[in-house]
Amino acid sequence: MSMRLLLGWLCSLLLGGSIWFAVAGLPRRWSDALAVSGYAVLLGVLGSGLLVGLRRDVPGEGIFLATLPLLGVAIVVLLGVGYWRSRRASPALAVTVPPAESLPRWCWVLLALITLRFAFVLDEAILRPVFAWDAWNAWSLKAKTWFSLGQVPYLEPSAWWQDGGSAGRTALAWRYPELLSRAELWFAGAAGAWNEGAVATAWPVLWLALIAGCAGQWMALGVPRLHSLILAYMLASLPLLSVHAGLAGYADLWVAAALSFAVLSWLRWVRDGDRAQLLLAVLCTVLLPLLKFEGAVWALLLVGLALLVQVPVRWRWVGLGVGALLVVVAVIGSWLLQLPWLTLVGDTLSGAATSGDDVSRVTAAFAFVNGLFGQNNWHLLWPLLIACVIWRRDVLFRQRDAALLGLLVAGGLTALLCLFVFTPAAKWAASETAANRLVLHWVPLALSLLALLLRDVQWPARTQPSSPR
Amino acid sequence: MQRAVVVIVLVWFLLIGIFLEISPFQSPWPQQRYALEGAEFAALAGGQIDGDGLAITTPDENYGALLVRSVEIADAAQWPVLRYRFDSLAPSLEVAFLYRRADSPNDVRTVNLTRARMATGSIDLSRENDWRGAITEIGFAVYPVTQSVPPEQAFRPFVLRGAEFWSPSWTGRAAAVATEWSGRRAWSLMSISALGPDNGVVRSRSPVLLLALGLGFTLLLLTQFTPTTTLRTVQVIVVAVAAAWILLDLRWSLSFADRHAATRQVYAPLEWPQRQQQLADADVLAAAQSVRQALRDDGADPDTVRLLVDAKSDFLRARFIYHLAPARTGPLNLTGWRVATAETGPIYFATFEQPEPQFDAADSRLRIDSDFSVPARQIADAPPLRVYRIGPENTP
């Protein structure tokens, strides 16, 4: 890894860390320290991608130096805001770090296993040139082109034919969101060349950040440290998640991280009323549609639920009606403005985006369920979650954060089940190409639900209280 | 409690039997065995006798090896289990079993084999429809992993120690399932979407489902037989779930390590610029470089002219376009032949492993279909690659 690439990483992490600092101040608890190490990667890398998008005319390695001043200004401003906010905060809020709860020695084995897995996925990502189909078909194609020519526009095919200049490009993924491609461009610029191994480092680091961020937020939500560590190991051990870290290039890991961090921050706000966490939730939610179309759907689901629970009970039906009306207005507005997302939805639901023979609903449903329970993607996650929901069902009625998370996960999986069983997208379920990748978006939250369900369980050998740390 | 333990053990045995698909009418052990030493096989290239085995030290022209032997198997159904043993088989190589039937001596049938974690692997050929009748010849084809390894870098010397056919038995079926459950796997394009189907045909039932059902029944039976000892039940289940999870993680960790070993074998000795040249589809990369050169030779800037691209499959077309980047490519399945609507500037067309459209050299036209053709001039003809410049200025 070159010094330039290291500098690029350092700048991104500084940017991400300063966003947390500006919003939530210095982390003063173990849980927040762990969470910020996760959020800093997601917010920092994607923030760098957004800043790269402001220098569209600069090609090649020059994009790195052209973006550095913007990054520097952003970091200074954010640090200034954070410092100003911390000065305004009451001294009484400047709590000291409580002593860490000791963990049994065998827990170090779990940490060692996570570290070992990280070393493997990092080495795989660096060594293997971009491999997975959509990685080079959708995101790397744009980044590679932009690295050579500057950020030329990607046009729909008829506009490409009529483009009188020489800049416009087209591709099958011309309407895909471009933030991830810009993040790739940032790392290519930092590496000083279209170095696929250097670009790929972002995926294993994000994988580790996802685990750290979730573990930190679980602890902040009152999950005991030991539980959080075990669940962090379980998250790290999930096969398809490590595949997405090792075979770098897909957007699904980023969507999973942004969705998980948005929801966990929102739950902290629901539980503790911490406005900084609400702001972090908003930031992560805003990133979702910039990553992938499905991210926009998940963002709508989250925002819809978040707004609904804020509405007084007697107004909820009215709220639902207003929400439905807004959806209709959004669809009509998108149709009038010819927004690409509507075409994508239309193509998917009509079957224009899929190819191959029709498949029966039973076949599609079986393939979807087989992906959850039968294949090697998720170990025993889904049977375990179902068993724990049945065993700890009273928690869903007693604890608001667990109930809301349960509702969200159920909503997300139901949406996927409907998509892959009742629409032409069933072909993707039957061919086992897309269903598990979209399920991946919800996997960290499924483990988070497990964490909240088991939060108050007192194991006979350990009876420490489960207060937030 | 003792009664519960007995019932739980019985349930687990029953589940394992169902998941292994063991027939109660078969004997526990094979009644007959037919062993073949590796040294009895003949290699088409690079073979040397190594004790009782056959060592392959150099690859054939396809970067692999073909090992064959005549046999006299009167009825394939009597020998459903094949056991095979290789030493030092590199993670970048795959193995297929070949056989020739007496009733169709000109047809060579193939069955992809799972690379065994230990030296010896097994496959239950009774699940293969074509494994029947008299068999006259068998063999093994060893070849580079198809999608994730550059063929030129894949080969490493290995030894075929031997093969053995077993008559039907529980042991044979269990060995075949054990090979499937623990086999060495390689990355494929499917790996990013689903693990299990990513290595071809799934020949066994899911061990994940076996563990899930086993744990579910265990919990059910414990709560039925010992309703008053909830704490004990929870403890037992927690330990069992932890053990099952660790077992599955160990299995996945080994599988990931196998896949990574192939990556390290090919790419670890190289610097990053060379890594990006050593690809499983290096031929497509070379074709893309030829296209760029052909455009330059024709006086065009490869990054500014419109370049329509087509290929035999969606995958090949997309790879071709990625290797051509940052060219101003238009995938033909997306853009169509709307050349008449194009703004000024030359239009080129590159096609790879795709015979259509035909080029009529006599009147310099590309025949798109029976009703539509465009004037064109061929600027590169290096099958499977063809490149044309399209436009009225090319009409003679």
Instruction: Indicate if B331 and B354 belong to the same structural domain.
Output: yes
pLDDT at A331 over 90: no
What percent of chain B shows pLDDT beyond 70? 97
Q: What pLDDT sits at residue A129?
A: 97
| Pick among B208, B245, B303 to test the A interface (most A CBs inside 10 A) | B208
CB within 8 Å of A288: residues ≥ 6 apart: A255, A258, A259, A262, A295, A296, A298, A299
State whether B170 and B246 are in the same domain.
no
A130: closest CA of chain B, how far (Å): 8
Report the b/e string of A323-356 with b at 16+ CB within 10 A. beeeeeeeeeeeeeeeeebbbbbeebeeeebbee
pLDDT of residue A103: 84
Q: Which two tokens stand for residue B84?
A: 């095979």
pLDDT level of residue B202 (50, 70, 90 thresholds): confident
| Residue B250, pLDDT score | 97
Per-residue confidence band for A469, with pLDDT thresholds at 50, 70 and 90: very low
Cβ contacts (< 8 Å) between B306 and chain A: which residues?
160-161
CB contact under 8 A, A128 and B193: no
- Residue B45: which of B36, B37, B35, B56 has the closest Cα? B56
Residue B151 — very low, low, confident or very high, per pLDDT cuts 50/70/90? very high
Same domain, B16 and B157: no
Nearest by CB to A379, which of B208, B255, B305?
B208
Mean pLDDT of A248-265: 98
Residue A97: pLDDT band with limits 50, 70, 90:
low
Task: State the average pLDDT for chain B.
Answer: 93
- What is the value of pTM for the model shown? 0.93
pLDDT band at A466 (very low <50, low <70, confident <90, very high): very low
Q: Would you state the pLDDT for residue A323? A: 81
Chain A partners within 8 Å of B276 (Cβ) = 129, 195-196
**How many Å apart are CA A418 and CA B223, to the nearest integer?**
35
Q: Which of A120, A148, A198 has its CB closest to that of B326?
A: A148
pLDDT at A393: 95
Which tokens sit at A377?
């993607």
The phi, psi pair for B295, rounded to 5°, reads -65, -40
Report pLDDT for A357: 62
Q: Is-contact A190 A71, C-beta < 8 A? A: no
Cα–Cα distance list, B247 to A379, B220, B243 (Å): 10, 22, 6
Confidence of residue A465 (pLDDT cuts 50, 70, 90): very low
Please name every residue paired with B124 in a beta bridge, in sequence order, or none if there are none: B81
Per-residue pLDDT, averaged over A192-198, amounts to: 97
What pLDDT sits at residue A272?
93
Enter the tokens of residue B210: 């076996």
Report, as an integer, the average pLDDT of A334-353. 71
Pair B1, B99 in one domain:
no
**pLDDT beyond 50 at B132:** yes
**Residue A288 vs residues A96, A301, B284: alpha-carbon distances, Å:** 34, 11, 35
At B355-371, the pLDDT tens digits run: 889 999 888 899 988 88
**Which pLDDT score is estimated for A464?**
47
Which pLDDT score is estimated for A354? 61
CATH number at residue B67: 2.60.120
User: Residue A343 pLDDT more than 90?
Assistant: no
pLDDT at position B394 is 52
What's residue A430's pLDDT?
85
Q: Last residue of some domain: B129, B157, B190?
A: B190
The answer to whether residue B173 is domain-embedded is yes
Segment A289-314 mean pLDDT: 91
Distances (CA, A) of B149 to A57, A249, A281, A329, B337: 37, 18, 42, 51, 35
Q: Which helix (H) or strand (E) holds B359?
A: strand B358-360
The better pLDDT of the pair A353, B196 is held by B196
| pLDDT for position B136 | 97
Average the pLDDT over each of A99-108, A417-426, B42-51 and give the range with the smallest value.
Answer: A99-108
Average pLDDT over residues A179-199: 97
Greater confidence (B339 vs B67) lies with B67
- Name, in order, each residue with C-beta under 8 angstroms of A324's C-beta and a sequence gap of 6 or more: none
Give the range among A205-214, B65-74, B159-168, B197-206 with minimum mean pLDDT: B197-206
Answer yes or no: are the C-beta atoms of A424 and A348 closer than 8 Å. Answer: yes
Nearest to A384 by CA among A442, A453, A461: A453
Residue A460 pLDDT greater than 80, yes or no: no
Rg (CA), chain B: 28
* Element containing residue B137 per DSSP (H, E): strand B135-144
Answer whether B29's CB lies under 8 Å from B169's CB.
yes
| Rounded-to-integer distance, Cα B362 and Cα A45, Å | 57
Q: How many cross-chain Cβ pairs, A to B, lie less than 8 Å apart?
A: 197
Domain locations in chain A as residue ranges: 1-88+107-158+166-310, 354-457
Q: Of B269, B291, B318, which residue constitutes the final position of a domain?
A: B269
- Report the alpha-carbon distance of residue A402 to residue A455 in Å, rounded: 10
Q: Is residue B197 part of a domain?
A: no
Confidence of residue A361 (pLDDT cuts 50, 70, 90): confident
Mean residue pLDDT of chain A comes to 91
Domain span at residue B319 reads 282-394
Residue B240's pLDDT is 96
Residues B80 and B98 in one domain: yes
Using 50, 70 and 90 to split pLDDT, how confident is the model at A98?
low
Peptide bond preceding B357 in cis form (omega within 30 of 0): yes
Taking 60 as the threshold, does the pLDDT of residue A284 lie above it? yes
Does some domain include residue B198? no
Q: Residue B333 CB: number of other CB atoms within 10 A?
A: 13
DSSP string, B277-313: T--TTHHHHHHHHHHHHHHHHTT--TTTSEEEEEESS
H-state helical runs in A273-315: 275-291, 293-310
Q: How many domains does chain B have?
A: 3
Stretch A169-184: mean pLDDT: 95
Distance from C-alpha of A16 to C-alpha of A31, rounded to nearest angstrom = 17
Cα separation, B72 vs B135, in Å, equals 6
CB atoms within 10 A of CB A237: 23
Does B189 contact chain A (CB < 8 Å)?
Answer: yes
Amino acid identity, residue B33? Answer: R
> A181: closest CA among A135, A139, A138?
A139
Q: Do A145 and B263 touch (CB under 8 A)?
A: no
Question: How far apart are the C-alpha atoms of A309 and A316, rounded to whole Å?
Answer: 8
Tell whether B248 and B126 lie within a shared domain.
no
Q: Could you tell me which of A418, A421, A420, A422 has the C-alpha nearest to residue A435?
A: A420
Mean local confidence (pLDDT), A13-26 = 96
Return the minimum-mean-pLDDT range out of A177-186, A304-313, A348-357, B358-367.
Answer: A348-357
Which of B235, B269, B303 marks a domain boundary? B269
Domain for residue B200, yes or no? no
Could you give the angle at the alpha carbon of A232 between the alpha carbons of A228 and A236, nearest 5°?
A: 175
* B10 and B127 fall within a common domain: no
Spatial distance between the Cα atoms of A370 and A376, rounded to a whole number of angstroms: 10
Q: Is B169 in the same domain as B242? A: no
Chain B, window 233-262: residues with a beta carbon less than 8 angstroms from a chain A beta carbon: 235, 241, 244-245, 248-249, 251-253, 255-257, 259-260
* Mean pLDDT value across residues A59-73: 95
Instruction: Tell me whether residues B245 and A373 touch, CB distance under 8 A.
Output: no
DSSP for A310-345 reads HS-GGGHHHHHHHHHHHHHHHHHHHHHTT-HHHHHH
Q: Collapse the DSSP code of A383 into the 3-class scheme (helix H, G, I; strand E, B; otherwise coil) and give the result.
A: helix
Task: Give yes or no: residues B104 and B61 share one domain.
Answer: yes
ipTM: 0.93
**Which 3 state secondary structure label does DSSP give B79?**
coil
As a whole number of angstroms, the distance between CA A290 and CA A340 comes to 13
